[in-house]
């Protein structure tokens, strides 16, 4: 159990995170900070005064705390609009920023199209971490995932083991679920790995997919697996299209919690995560999704998977996309 964990952004993902931190007793105190509802300077003063007194973070906190007796939890919540409640956090999970949302015509933006708005948010978040909990382990979820983690790294310059992004666990769990469903087996029996950037070019690695230790091809045809891998790459968009109001929030929160628990309880779990590569996979100074060992030291090890030529080429293509978005970050930060 940590003494204190911070959740930055108390929206859909942030809300599930706070609820689960309380229920799983991951820290004695959870701090959740969110500026919403945003005060509109064009509103009449009395309306601005009302809005300023409201707080999504405080509202969610009270709602969750009121349920504490039903889950036997004495975890405390500190909540508010300001960042100072992050003081003393040993770990922060960043969810601040806008999600993808379906347009009236049913189309929706790519994660990369969120960059310009979410970069501004991320700069504020980085300043807050630097000011109030500079030694905290940083686990980031906001999109475009790889570029936002890169931005936090550029702004905070932490040791590379202390910053990691959540996407590979989510992409891999989607792959696992679709395989389990198609094969008619328990999700517990399916192991899967998705590498690369958290975009539509991510790389589900079929050679690493196993059902009860056996190659997945023993259970599912090539055509079925092709379709599952295509669906996995676009699974985030499938949810955006169905929800209408935003993007997936339960499975992303659970994926981040899987990573957080591995670190909090020093489990040495190998999980696909967005980590800084310095030569591994022939990639330098970029954050990309690869298997890493997560323990009390954060990202304790990067593991290099043996890939076949097609998988190597697919990873190279995905990394090109990450590189392009990070180049945009470099330009915008100037
Ligand atoms: N500091 C802290 N929180 C902020 C800031 C900021 N500067 N700017 C916005 N937020 C808050 C918003 O007020 C909102 O409550 O971030 C929260 C984001 O929550 P949602 O809009 O509900 O989005 P969510 O579904 O939780 O996704 C958050 O994760 O998966 C990604 O693409 C997704 O980038 C998005 C992020």
Task: Tell me: do 123 and 44 sit in the same domain.
Answer: yes
Q: Which protein residue has the closest C-alpha to ligand 1 atom 18?
A: 11
pLDDT for position 29? 98
pLDDT for position 97? 97
What's the CATH code of the domain at 69? 3.40.50.720
pLDDT for position 86? 98
Active site residue 198: yes
Neighbouring C-beta atoms of residue 105, cutoff 10 Å = 6
Last residue of a domain, one of 165, 188, 215: 165
User: 243 lies in which domain range?
Assistant: 168-333
Q: Quick check: CB of 8 below 6 Å from ligand 1? A: yes
157-192: b (≥16 Cβ within 10 Å) or e:
ebebbbbbbbbbbbbbbbbbbbbbebbeeeeebbbb
Tell me which residue of 152, 179, 174, 182 sits closest to 165, measured CA to CA.
152
Question: What is the spatial distance between Cα 100 and Cα 62, in angstroms, rounded to a whole number?
Answer: 27
Task: Tell me: do 125 and 209 sit in the same domain.
Answer: no
Task: Tell me: do 204 and 317 sit in the same domain.
Answer: yes
Task: Tell me: do 202 and 118 sit in the same domain.
Answer: no
Task: Tell me: do 145 and 230 sit in the same domain.
Answer: no
- Spacing, Cα 96 to ligand 1 middle (Å): 4
* CB 274, CB 145: distance < 8 Å: yes
- Spacing, Cα 35 to ligand 1 middle (Å): 10
pLDDT for position 190? 98
Question: What is the spatial distance between Cα 63 and Cα 202, in angstroms, rounded to a whole number?
Answer: 37
pLDDT for position 147? 97
Of 111, 198, 233, 269, the active-site residue reads 198
Q: Enumerate the β-bridge partners of residue 27.
A: 2
Task: Tell me: do 68 and 122 sit in the same domain.
Answer: yes
What's the CATH code of the domain at 253? 3.90.110.10
pLDDT for position 333? 95
Task: Tell me: do 154 and 183 sit in the same domain.
Answer: no
Instruction: Show the tokens assigned to 308.
Output: 């076949």
Ligand 1 pocket, mutate which of 8, 18, 54, 96 (most atoms under 8 A from CB): 96
Backbone angles phi, psi at 283, to 5 degrees: -110, 135
Task: Tell me: do 63 and 202 sit in the same domain.
Answer: no
Task: Tell me: do 130 and 216 sit in the same domain.
Answer: no
Per-residue confidence in pLDDT tens, the chain, 334 aa: 999 999 999 999 999 999 999 999 999 999 999 999 999 999 999 999 999 999 999 999 999 999 999 999 999 999 999 999 999 999 999 999 999 999 999 999 999 999 999 999 999 999 999 999 999 999 999 999 999 999 999 999 999 999 999 999 999 999 999 999 999 999 999 999 999 999 999 999 999 999 999 999 999 999 999 999 999 999 999 999 999 999 999 999 999 999 999 999 999 999 999 999 999 999 999 999 999 999 999 999 999 999 999 999 999 999 999 999 999 999 999 9
Last residue of a domain, one of 165, 199, 228: 165
Last residue of a domain, one of 148, 165, 182: 165
Q: Quick check: CB of 14 below 6 Å from ligand 1? A: yes
Looking at the 3D structure of the chain, how many domains does it have?
2
pLDDT for position 79? 98
Q: Quick check: CB of 31 below 6 Å from ligand 1? A: no
């Amino acid at each position: 159990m940590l003494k204190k964990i911070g959740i930055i952004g108390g929206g859909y993902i942030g809300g599930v995170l706070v609820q689960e931190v309380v229920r799983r007793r991951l820290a004695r105190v959870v701090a959740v900070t969110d500026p919403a509802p945003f005060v509109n300077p064009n509103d009449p003063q009395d309306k601005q005064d009302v809005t300023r007194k409201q707080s999504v973070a405080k509202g969610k906190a009270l709602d969750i705390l009121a349920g504490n007796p039903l889950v036997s939890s004495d975890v405390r919540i500190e909540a508010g609009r300001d960042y100072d409640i992050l003081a003393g956090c040993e770990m922060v999970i960043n969810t601040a920023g806008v999600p993808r949302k379906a347009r009236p015509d049913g189309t929706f933006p790519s994660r990369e199209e969120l960059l310009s708005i979410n970069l501004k948010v991320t700069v504020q978040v980085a300043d807050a971490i630097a000011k109030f909990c500079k030694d905290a382990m940083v686990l980031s979820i906001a999109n475009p995932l790889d570029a936002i983690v890169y931005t936090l790294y550029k702004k905070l310059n932490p040791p590379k083991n202390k910053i990691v992004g959540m996407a590979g666990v989510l992409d891999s769990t989607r792959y696992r679920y679709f395989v389990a469903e198609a094969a008619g087996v328990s999700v517990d029996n399916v192991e899967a790995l998705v590498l690369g950037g958290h975009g539509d070019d991510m790389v589900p690695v079929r050679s690493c997919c196993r059902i009860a230790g056996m190659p997945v091809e023993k259970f599912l045809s090539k055509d079925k697996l092709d379709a599952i891998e295509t669906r996995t790459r676009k699974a985030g968009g499938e949810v955006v299209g169905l929800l209408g109001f935003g993007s997936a929030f339960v499975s992303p929160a659970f994926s981040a919690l899987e990573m957080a628990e591995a670190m909090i309880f020093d489990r040495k779990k190998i999980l696909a995560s967005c980590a800084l590569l310095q030569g591994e996979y022939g990639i330098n100074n970029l954050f990309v999704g690869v298997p890493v060992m997560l323990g009390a030291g954060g990202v304790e090890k990067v593991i290099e998977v043996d890939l076949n030529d097609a998988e190597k080429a697919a990873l190279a293509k995905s990394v090109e996309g990450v590189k392009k978005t990070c180049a945009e970050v470099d330009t915008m930060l100037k």
